[in-house]
Amino acid sequence: MTRYVLGVSALYHDSAATLVGDGEIIAAAQEERFSRKRHDPSLPRNAINYCLEEAFIENNELGAVAFYDNPWLTFDRALSSVLSVGSRGKEQWLAAAPSLLGAKLRVKQRLHALLQCEVPVLFTQHHLAHAASAYFPSPFADAAVLTMDGVGEWATTSLGMGTTDAEGRTRLELLREVRYPDSLGLLYSAMTQYCGFKVNSGEYKLMGLAPYGTPRYATTIKQNLIELLADGSFRLNTEYFGFLDEHSMTNERFAALFGGPARRAESRITRREMDLAASIQAVLEEAVLGLARSAHATTGAKRLCLAGGVALNCVANGRLLREGPFAEIWIQPAAGDAGGALGAALLCSFERFDARRKLTPGRDAQKGSYLGPAYGSAQVKAFIERHELPSERVEDLTERSRRIAGAIADGKIVGFFAGRMEFGPRALGARSILGDPRSAATQSQMNLKIKFRESFRPFAPAVLREHCADLFELDADSPYMLLVAPVRAELRLPKRDSAFEQGDDDLLSVVREARSTIPAVTHVDYSARIQTVDSVGHPAFRALIEAFFTQTGCPVLVNTSFNVRGEPIVCTPQDAYRCFMRTEIELLVLEDYLLWKDQQPKQTDDESWRDEFELD
């Protein structure tokens, strides 16, 4: 009989639930997708419901629930931190105490109340859960494991080793850790906040902004904020940070170091922020490379697995692959706290219930990260009929792909909703907005008219795996959009003397400039955040790119998440239709139904819907 483990991460940010049966990942989803609240931290009742639905099991069939961290250790760290700064930490303590003393310590009771059964609830440790989420789904039998995030209980970074014997028996242990308050995640988040972006969501923007700047503050950062040590570890100078004793990540000393107060959110981005972004990115990459070298020296492993929020920094990941000591790396696509739910469940399944790990050469066990709910053709039909929406059903995949590809080649922006939703922050073709990468206008059009977000943010290419090396300096699998690599030199176009190059801060002049033959996915530094698409993960998405390639000779599509700024990625057909109608997406694909914008009934919504989602 299958032993099921429900994994849960909750009550900090990005709550999620996962279900694992005898070591196999069955389902995983973030609560925000159902609740429609970005980074929803609440107990993931909807995600749990979905996981049990996917396996179609009763609550009492669960062998255990595994929670992703140890609330008592978190409480211990929070209390110790407060005591270390004395009365200055009072306000921060008062803000954190209700969660630490209340909800988090009553997780077991709350889960029992939700499930209405007395299933055993087990607690793991935050970084062990991250490590498990990276190691167990990876395709590697033996691998070093590196986890890096803001903080989990006491640890901020940990180094471990995972092994699997010929019978599939596993062993995962953490060997070393860096402890709070020394944290790469907190350092990056502090700079994110200082540059006017939100902590825990704006880090990605900072990474996207970095190529516009020069790392002229890197030395300042290394001399004052962080000391990178020879053994790969590091120390933060907490005198510059506010997270110990203030509500802000940074303090006045930090501001003084970088020439003035933090940028106000939504105000114009200046050269200073671009240079700060470039600088912190350079320091982060150096730190990650140092950690990797240390991991390699300590474990002797040839392969590396990564997780934790810092592992979502795909620019650093790309450098690690190119310059690091490991032959191969694998990164958990849900590297943030949501992935902790997966790690906790896997850890419990393998180490508590003694599940045997089944390795398939060259293939991971993450199932393309298509682990969320699907809404098949019958559900879409029911939705369309109920709302009497004009649509056309095209059942034949080849014909459907041909028509969608034709629309994209004509410059249309397409909302693509097909199959099981992705687990993790990236849309990988199941809940995606797609466009033509050959058009220089696509990037700003998609940013400003579809996503309603900052114009500088780059888009990712989804490329047929076998053509990846033809276009990019990468010949490796990157199915989860977690590696950045340069566009091949022969495809690049020379930089023009744009207003930006002449010193103007206006990013649009450089954003609109064609930088390669696939300009919409070529960042200002000629880099691209690549998703390779093979023939296994998502057949409908693969068929669409193939059709586009047949029609245009270009094996790439622009792929961005199906949402507007501040909105969680769409989950249901209803979500997708609503987003479609509120943006300038011209064609919506809901499984095998095509819906054209110009045929839809007029929306009665006014602009007030923009207030529905808090800007990220």
Partner 1 sequence: MQRQLFEYHPVLGYRFIPGLKARVPHEAGGYLVQVNNQGFRCQRDFALKKSPGTFRVLLFGDSFSAGDGVSNRQRYGDLLETLLPNTEVFNFALPGTGTDQQYLAFKEFAQDVECDVIVAAVLVENIRRNTARYRPFADENGKQVYFPKPFFVRSTSGELELEGVPVAKAPLTEAELGQALKSADQGGRLPVLRKAINRFGPRAKQLAQRLTGYQPVPGYNRADDPDWLLMRSILALWSSACHAPFLVFPIPLYQHVEGTASAEPYRRRFRELERETRISLCDPFEHLDALPASDKRRLRFESDVHPTPFAHEQLARALAPALSQLRQSPSQGSTT
Kindly list the catalytic residues: 13
User: Nearest distance from residue 416's CB to partner 1, in Å?
Assistant: 20
Residue 520 β-bridge partners:
none
User: Nearest distance from residue 283's CB to partner 1, in Å?
Assistant: 42
Per CB under 8 A, which region of 48-56, 157-165, 211-219, 410-418 contacts partner 1? Answer: 48-56
Nearest 5°: the CA angle 369, 474, 127 is 45
CA distance 465 to 478: 9
Q: Is 376 in the site for partner 1 (CB under 8 A)?
A: yes
Binding to partner 1 in span 113-172, by CB under 8 A: 114-117
Q: Which is nearer to partner 1, 50 or 68 (CB)?
A: 50
- Binding residues for partner 1, rule CB under 8 A, total 31
Q: Which is nearer to partner 1, 267 or 608 (CB)?
A: 608
Q: Which is nearer to partner 1, 114 or 491 (CB)?
A: 114
Query: Contact with partner 1 (CB under 8 A): which of 375, 459, 580, 593?
Result: 375
DSSP class of residue 309 equals G
| Amino acid at site 308 | G
Provide the mask over 573-592, with x wherever binding to partner 1 is found by CB under 8 A and - wherever it is not: -xx-----------------
Q: Is 613 in the site for partner 1 (CB under 8 A)?
A: no
> Coil, strand or helix: which one is 313?
coil
Query: Contact with partner 1 (CB under 8 A): which of 24, 37, 42, 59?
Result: 59
* Residue the block writes with tokens 């429609």: 36
User: Nearest distance from residue 562's CB to partner 1, in Å?
Assistant: 15
SS (H, E, C) 386-409: HCCCCCEECCCHHHHHHHHHHHHH
User: Nearest distance from residue 373's CB to partner 1, in Å?
Assistant: 8
Q: Which is nearer to partner 1, 57 or 397 (CB)?
A: 57
CA distance 602 to 616: 29
Query: Contact with partner 1 (CB under 8 A): which of 86, 264, 360, 386?
Result: 386
CA distance 471 to 475: 10
Pairing mode, strands 328-331 and 460-464 = unpaired
User: Nearest distance from residue 594's CB to partner 1, in Å?
Assistant: 20
Q: Is 539 in the site for partner 1 (CB under 8 A)?
A: no
- Pinpoint the alpha helices (H) of 98-217: 107-115, 126-135, 184-194, 203-209
**Which of 463, 464, 465 shows the shortest CA–CA distance to 476?**
465
Per CB under 8 A, which region of 88-96, 232-240, 390-398, 572-580 contacts partner 1? Answer: 572-580
Provide the mask over 387-426, with x wherever binding to partner 1 is found by CB under 8 A and - wherever it is not: -x--------------------------------------
User: Nearest distance from residue 67's CB to partner 1, in Å?
Assistant: 18
Per CB under 8 A, which region of 18-26, 174-182, 383-391, 443-451 contacts partner 1? Answer: 383-391
User: Nearest distance from residue 47's CB to partner 1, in Å?
Assistant: 11
Token duo for residue 216:
């002229």
CA distance 333 to 426: 8
Q: How many residues does the chain have?
A: 616
CA distance 450 to 446: 5
| Amino acid at site 510 | V
Binding to partner 1 in span 23-42, by CB under 8 A: 34, 36
Q: Is 45 in the site for partner 1 (CB under 8 A)?
A: yes
Specify the DSSP element, H or E, that contains 574.
helix 573-582
User: Nearest distance from residue 605's CB to partner 1, in Å?
Assistant: 12
Token duo for residue 206:
């900072």
Pairing mode, strands 414-417 and 16-21 = unpaired
Q: Is 53 in the site for partner 1 (CB under 8 A)?
A: yes
Q: Which is nearer to partner 1, 45 or 465 (CB)?
A: 45
Pairing mode, strands 431-435 and 556-561 = antiparallel
Q: Which residues of 427-462 are buried (b: 16+ CB within 10 A; e: fewer)?
A: bbbbbbbbbbbbbbebbbbbbeebbbbbbbbbbbbb
Pairing mode, strands 4-9 and 16-21 = antiparallel
Q: Is 49 in the site for partner 1 (CB under 8 A)?
A: yes
Q: Is 385 in the site for partner 1 (CB under 8 A)?
A: yes
Q: Is 603 in the site for partner 1 (CB under 8 A)?
A: no
Which residues make up the interface to partner 1 (CB under 8 A)? 34, 36, 45-46, 49-50, 52-53, 56-59, 114-117, 373, 375-376, 378-379, 381-383, 385-386, 388, 571-572, 574-575
